[in-house]
Amino acid sequence: MSASSFEHKVVLITGGASGIGKECARQFQAQGARVAIADIDARQGSIVVDEMGADAGFWTLDVTSESAWREVLSAVCARWGRLDVLVNGAGIVIQGSIEDTTLEDFRRVHAVNVEGVFLGCKAAIPLLRKNGGAIVNISSTAGLRGVAKLAAYNSAKGAVRLLTKSVALHCAEAGYNIRCNSLHPSYIDTPMVQKMVAESANPERMLSVMKRVSPMNRMGSVQEVAGVVVFLASDAASFINGAEIPIDGGATAR
């Protein structure tokens, strides 16, 4: 892809204040896009936008609020007049087995990780229809296979996988020229994963286990994940639709 692959296009990234979302914002901007960063962390989001300059903007967004989605998309269109790409990257993880997980925690994980994606797709499609576009939903390898101590997260990320396929089929059958794909990272070196390690009973052991999940014996980087996100949103991926793309160093190949 050239440095102008997304010239004049507008990309909205939720969870864009840190981790994978932040790197996605940087890579889309490097390809010529105007980038709208949405996140619940206003302080960190403002820092990222200040670093990126005039072709980026930040909006505070609680992805579980339908009215907040409408407000943010209205503001993005007021500034730039269009929307071409939505990256649903906001997410949380609460560890726990089916016995340990409370109903409150289960509902919270689903509200952010599933309802947030549902609301984002629903709100963005009318705007994406105008020029055609792409949606990339960040799921997880936990949406492809089970983990005993991630009951809520497994359930939520599995839901994102099949919601993505439903959105892709709907848009294709309606003739909207909107593609929708899900990306399934394994352990990636992000603040969320670093927090999981720090909060574990044995951080050194936890880090070693995370690395061994991949046959490549390491975690992935945000740069590696963001590169695939940008590709899936680009014209180079124009015939990829409703797909689930693992980015896990071969972990799900076992």
Q: Using CA atoms of 28, 31, 36, 40 in order, give the dihedral in degrees to the nearest 10.
A: 20
Q: Where are the CATH 3.40.50.720 domain residues in the chain?
A: 10-185+225-247
How many other C-beta atoms lie within 10 A of the C-beta of residue 73?
Answer: 22
Which DSSP state fits 12?
A: E
* Residue 3: predicted pLDDT: 58
Q: Is 187 a catalytic residue?
A: no
Q: Tell me: the pLDDT tens digits for 173-213? A: 999 999 999 999 999 998 888 888 898 889 999 999 899 99
Q: Using CA atoms of 210, 199, 13, 102 in order, give the dihedral in degrees to the nearest 10.
A: 100
248 vs 190, which has greater pLDDT?
248
Q: Using CA atoms of 116, 120, 222, 52 in order, give the dihedral in degrees to the nearest 10.
A: -120
* Residue 200: predicted pLDDT: 87
Q: Tell me: the pLDDT tens digits for 75-90? A: 999 999 999 999 999 9
3-state class (DSSP) for residue 11: strand
Is residue 165 very low, low, confident or very high in pLDDT (cuts 50, 70, 90)? Answer: very high
35 contact partners, CB below 8 Å, separation of at least 6: 10, 11, 13, 16, 25, 28, 29, 52, 55, 56, 57
* Residue 170: predicted pLDDT: 98
* Residue 192: predicted pLDDT: 82
Token pair of 133, please? 């576009």
Instruction: List the strands of the sheet with 133-138, edge to edge.
Output: 56-60, 34-39, 10-14, 85-88, 133-138, 178-185, 244-247
d(CA 109, CA 192): 14
Is domain 10-185+225-247 in CATH 3.40.50.720, yes or no? yes
Residue 108 has pLDDT above 70, yes or no: yes
Catalytic residue among 58, 106, 153, 187: 153
Helix ranges (H only) for 66-115 are 66-80, 103-110
